[in-house]
Structure 1
Amino acid sequence: MSVSSSSSGTVATPVVIPLSRSLVWLVGTAALAALLYYFIGVDQGAVSIFGSDTHVHEFVHDGRHFLGFPCH
């Protein structure tokens, strides 16, 4: 079994992302994660900050139990 290697002389260069752009992605991802955590883990429906008529609690109810969050 022979291994052939092609040496074309090209070297992969890493992509450099500026700190300001990566900070925007980091903050956005953290905000989205916090919002999802609130809806799945904290929102109880009756005391929801979005009012009791949106029924976000009922939409994620089974997911809460599957993930181990207490409910009711």
Structure 2
Amino acid sequence: MAQSAAPAAIPAAPLTLPLKAIAPWAVFFGILMLALIYFVGAEQGATSLISGESVHEWVHDGRHLLGFPCH
């Protein structure tokens, strides 16, 4: 019983994506990540867009996790 009746599997070719299909999504997520880093790291001080400390309290632990000083 060394032989099998099942045919041998043909290896699949790797899927290639054109750069034009990926570029808009990469730009979108890049801008989204920059906005997130801004709100976590710099949204308390001279460049503050939102007054008060509500944003600071929401991202406080994330600031410490990423190494941003806040107090």
TM beyond 0.5:
yes
Residues 2-45 of structure 1 deviation map (CA, whole Å, 9 limit, x = unaligned): xxxx732x121111212211101211121111011101111117
Q: Report the 3-state secondary structure (helix = DSSP H, G, I; strand = E; otherwise coil) of the residue aligned with 2:40.
A: helix
Structure 2 Cα separation of the partners of residues 52 and 11 of structure 1: 58
Aligned length: 65
Compute the RMSD of aligned alpha carbons.
Answer: 2.3
Structure 1 ranges of 4+ moved more than 4 A = none
For 1:36, the equivalent position in structure 2 comes to 36
Paired letter, 1:12: A
Identity of aligned residues (%): 48
Q: Which structure 2 residues correspond to residues 1-72 of structure 1 after superposition, within 5 A?
A: 7-8=8-9, 10-44=10-44, 47-49=47-49, 51-52=50-51, 55-72=54-71
Q: Structure 1 regions of 5+ residues with no counterpart?
A: 1-5
Structure 2 residue ranges without an equivalent (≥5):
1-6
User: How far apart are residue 67 of structure 1 and its match?
Assistant: 2.1
| 3-state DSSP of counterpart to 2:8 | coil
